[in-house]
Amino acid sequence: MSDLLTSPIGQRRTLALRPRAAEMPPRADVAVVGAGLIGLSIAWRLAQAGRSVVVVERESVGSGASLAATGMLAPAAEHEPGSDLLLPLALESLQRWPAFRDALQAASGRTIDYREDGTLVIAIGRDEVERLRFRHDLQRRSGVAAEWLSGPEVRAREPLLRPNVTAGILCPLDAQVDPRLVMEALLRACEAAGVTIVERVAVDGLERQGGRFTGLRVGERTLSAETVILAAGAWSGETGLLPDDLALPVRPLKGQSLALRTTKRTGTLSRMVWTDAVHMAPKGDGHLIVGATVEDCGFRSGVTAGGLFALLEGARRVLPGIEEMEVDAVWSGFRPTSDDDAPIIEAAAPGLVVATGHHRNGYLLAPATADAVAALLGNGALPDFARGFGRARFAAQGEARGRAVA
């Protein structure tokens, strides 16, 4: 078992690996704000393309949402009404995962517990089955691979589930990774590619000269760069970081999760299982991750009794065997959430690229986001699959809502 998960209850999760201690240099081709999954994925890709890259992180690598995630790459299970903009990008990114995995594992010498074992979304009782039917119809209309299963068919696949499970949907193409392993691999890959990562240094603001962004400011010091990339997760919308005319509609949505230790005696699930209340994801190191609450409470951090109770009750309702599993860790994190739950990826102004707002899909969307930003810096344009994710869409959505009300 990894010692990463045996931290005191609620303590922020950290990596076993540390970046080499680095001072902030005075200039680079690219300056990235935030050493989360998105910042490091982009930094790695750009350094591979020959650019000098410096990543500046206020706390430590992954300490935002990225080490709090479950690591599901689940566009089918996640598909819900209103996510039409997101679905093509999500499917594109899922397709890019095997190549991203291979390159990351080769560059870092680490494995990331990538598993293509699918998701099973299950229901108990008539009301839940009705909601599941609705979800299945939506999946079918959207062309997402999803197979309807009866209760006995569900239990044939997952015998540890309670016998009263009434029905399920198998989403066979969904996959998952272990976020801690991905972040460690990204850290290694970045360092191998020459990225400088500066931890425990907060960016106070961005430098702008004559309409062009020229670097970032840390106290009295500046880091000059041809391009600044804002990948500050849930903090990307904070006042002070960007000028008012470029303010981003990004807010934190808190999630609490826990890791249960499974053994030969307790057994475990063989794929991700979702209910209305929780998701459960079995990992290669024997942990079963149970997540995650969704709380609109600003940056109020910490793990609460209510949050844990909801997770454990939701899990036990379908998987009674959790009663015998030890709780190895509990934690919380802040999803970076935009007004329509889809990411913001764009050249927001000369010299400034924004890559944030990945909400509950940062892992799923990391390969497409990194490739899109690399293409943007390489040839000046976003690839087709990443177009339409700029801030302009929020104004258009607001106007459409206004018309509907009028």
Ligand X SMILES: Cc1cc2nc3c(=O)[nH]c(=O)nc-3n(C[C@H](O)[C@H](O)[C@H](O)COP(=O)(O)OP(=O)(O)OC[C@H]3O[C@@H](n4cnc5c(N)ncnc54)[C@H](O)[C@@H]3O)c2cc1C
**Amino acid identity at 98:** P
Mark 48-69 as b/e (b = at least 16 C-beta within 10 Å).
beebbbbbbbbebbbbbbbbbb
Q: Strand (E) positions, 196-325?
A: 196-198, 205-209, 212-218, 221-230, 250-261, 272-274, 279-282, 287-291
Q: Are 13 and 62 in contact (CB under 8 A)?
A: yes
Closer CB to ligand X, 168 or 179, in the complex: 179
Of the two residues 124 and 366, which places its CB atom closer to ligand X in the complex? 366
Alpha carbons within 13 A on the beta-carbon side of 150: 2
Minimum separation from the CB atom of position 58 to ligand X (A): 4
**C-beta closer to ligand X: residue 139 or 257:** 257
Q: In what helix (H) or strand (E) does residue 225 lie, and over which residues does it extend?
A: strand 221-230
> Quick one: 236 or 262, whose CB is closer to ligand X?
236
Helix (H), strand (E) at residue 328: strand 326-338
CA distance 129 to 123: 5
Q: By CB neighbour count within 10 A (0-12 exposed, 13-18 middle, 19+ buried), where does 137 fall?
A: exposed
Cα 30 from Cα 42, distance rounded (Å): 10
Alpha helices by DSSP H, listed for 163-265, are: 179-192
Closest distance to ligand X from the beta carbon of 180 (Å):
12
Evaluated on CA atoms 319, 321, 325, 327, the torsion sign reads positive
Q: Could you say which DSSP state residue 12 is in? A: P
Nearer to ligand X, 75 or 151 (CB): 75
Strands annotated E in 61-154: 72-73, 119-123, 147-150
Residue 89, φ and ψ in degrees, nearest 5: -65, -40
Which one, 1 or 294, has the nearer CB to ligand X? 294
CB of 361 to ligand X, least distance (A): 4
**Residue position matching structure tokens 């594109």:** 92
Q: 406 CB contacts (<8 Å, ≥6 apart)?
A: none
Helix pair 362-379, 86-108: axis angle to 10 deg:
80
The least CB distance from residue 35 to ligand X, in Å, is: 6
Of 25 and 398, CB closest to ligand X:
25
Smallest gap from Cβ 218 to ligand X, in A, equals 8
- Cβ proximity to ligand X: between 167 and 248 the closer is 248
> Of 122 and 228, which CB lies nearer to ligand X in the complex structure?
228
Give residues in contact with ligand X (CB under 6 A): 33-39, 56-59, 63-66, 68-72, 202-203, 231-235, 241, 255, 257, 291-292, 333, 335-336, 356, 358-364
Burial, 156: exposed, middle or buried (Cβ in 10 Å; 0-12, 13-18, 19+)? exposed
State the nearest-atom distance from the C-beta of 69 to ligand X, in Å.
3
- C-beta of 72 vs 278, nearer to ligand X: 72
The least distance separating ligand X from the CB of residue 324, rounded to whole angstroms, comes to 24
**CA 31, 212, 238, 371 torsion-angle sign:** negative
Closest approach of Cβ 219 to ligand X, in Å?
12
Q: What minimum distance in Å lies between the beta carbon of 11 and ligand X?
A: 15
Smallest separation (angstroms) from ligand X to the CB of 194:
20
